Amino acid sequence: MEHLFDDFGRYGQLTALIDGTTGRKLTYTELQSAIVRVGSALWRLGMRKGDVVTLFSENKPEFLIIYLSFAAIGAVISCVSPTYKPGELAYALTHAKAKMLVASTATIEVAKQAAIDAKLNQQDVIVLGEAAGFRPYSALLQDDGKCFPENLDWDPREDLVALPFSSGTTGLPKGVMLSHYNLVANVEQTRTQDVMNYAAGEDVLIGVLPWFHIYGQTCIALAGLKSGVSLVSMPQFSPELFVKIVKDYKVTKLHIAPPTMLFLAQHPLVNGDDFSSVQFIVTGAAPCGANTMTEIRNRLDIPQIRQSYGLTESSPITHNNPSKNYRYDTVGLAVPNTEFKVVELTTGESLERGSEGEVCVRGPQVMKGYLGNEKATRETIKDGWLLTGDLGFADDDGHLIITDRMKELIKYKGIQVAPAELESLLVTHPAVADSAVIGAPDERAGELPRAYVVLKPNLHVSEDELQKFIAERVAPHKQLQGGIEFRKEIPKSAAGKILRRILKDELLANKTG
């Protein structure tokens, strides 16, 4: 927080946060004061350095105030999707060993049930708003700030600040241990002139990407506030509100995911006049086609549209197209102080430029490891190199081109969906003997979770019944929107590993046949 506090004082009366739904504004002076008061209140409640809090809310100014307050007193913030169902949230709370839970009025009912399941006391649940029986955020703001700990003993390289969840290359979601050093490094890598180049008092950013996601946290919220921008929050994507915020607040730089890129390219609400203030667009979290970027540029006359690349395990950014000589067909060059190489899949030997293999990255933004999972950490980080699970190659200019994914993960609108999580849930249904889940290609979402199910002998369940069974237990982005297909068996290797590529090839063949 020292990395931010000195700048907050310097930015003073510049506008820091704007609630995009109400227009309410906070200056940097007011933001800093709120962090001290809320941080002091949290310290009085017993939160200490290294304690974990789970943050379960949509984007709003209070999200960032309480996030920064916990960070300032040395706590570790584990942000999760506000669309989680009780079972998913309880898993996150238990896995992270969370001491507190922060919810919004929109998520408090799910939080209430999850807290019970995770054996978290109701007094340890804070609500951003008002909800009967829970500690309101407004009460924390009444603190006098005198218990704010100003002289904590910090070890930036070792002390954690964020614990987002990622499935890595396979398996169930795992806590990604990110230190203060990791996030500060990536904030500074992001802010360089050739990457984002934010300007204090001039740039306006929109928080349309969710702040629970590491991309939204680091590249928009933290890098933006460090730079003195005005940050407009948006609780969830709404076409009308998105266009209104961009127009009314004259947003200068857009960070968006591919589904929003398609919206800009195709939606009748979008016109060049409303987006005349936008200097550039950066898209990440999932691949975006060159045709879509060209359509947007032609339609809106935005000077720069660039792709970036990264992953939760790298805080997240490792590559970005430079402001000069950017290209639509690549995810760009490595950001400062970051190395990358492409290795042969079986031997791990480095490959020459132009040869396809697994992309590996190394830099100060690479995570410490997975919480409580040394095996997965060793498999993912080797000699300091993070194995991304993505296939790609470097061209002669050093640009990285991502070609495919080795990972089993599904990317729905840039958000990870772990097939193993859905497969383990499907087989808990009394009629299901076996299952496999893949990502079905979709123009708007990127991929949709699609299940293949083997039923137990003499038992029956309909697709609608299984869809409802899953929908009741997981967040919307994990639901089986790609459909369910019943089969006699799931294709597997001799070792019992699901051969997802066979299922994917069959699906593609049926679509083109």
Residue 119's nearest CA partner among 95, 92, 96, 90 is 90
Residue 429 contacts residue 455 (beta carbons within 8 Å): no
Q: 3-state DSSP call for residue 186? A: helix
CB proximity list for 481: less than 8 A, separation 6 or greater: 412, 445, 448, 449
pLDDT at 147: 98
The CATH class, in words, for 28-154 is: alpha beta
Model confidence band, residue 195 (pLDDT cutoffs 50, 70, 90):
confident
The model's confidence at residue 56, banded by pLDDT at 50, 70 and 90, is very high
Average pLDDT over residues 473-489: 96
Residue type, 479: Q
Decide if domain 410-512 falls under CATH 3.20.20.70: no
Boundaries of every domain in the chain = 28-154, 410-512
pTM, to two decimals: 0.87
SS3 state at 343 = strand
Residue 279 CB partners (closer than 8 Å, separation 6+): 252, 253, 302, 303, 304
Proportion of the chain above pLDDT 90, given as a percent: 81
Distance (Å, rounded) from C-alpha 446 to C-alpha 263? Answer: 13
Q: Express each pLDDT in 227-261 by its tens digit.
A: 999 999 999 999 999 999 999 999 999 999 888 99
| Structure-token match 């001799």, residue found | 494
Q: Can you say how many angstroms the Cα of residue 353 is from the centroid of all Cα atoms in its chain?
A: 30
Closest CA to 385 of 332, 334, 454: 334
Q: What angle do CA 179, 218, 35 make, to 5 degrees?
A: 80
Q: 373 near 174, Cβ under 8 Å?
A: yes
32/9 Cα distance (integer angstroms): 8
pLDDT over threshold 70, residue 2: yes
Q: What angle do CA 296, 300, 303 make, to 5 degrees?
A: 85
For β-strands 304-310 and 317-320, DSSP reports them as antiparallel
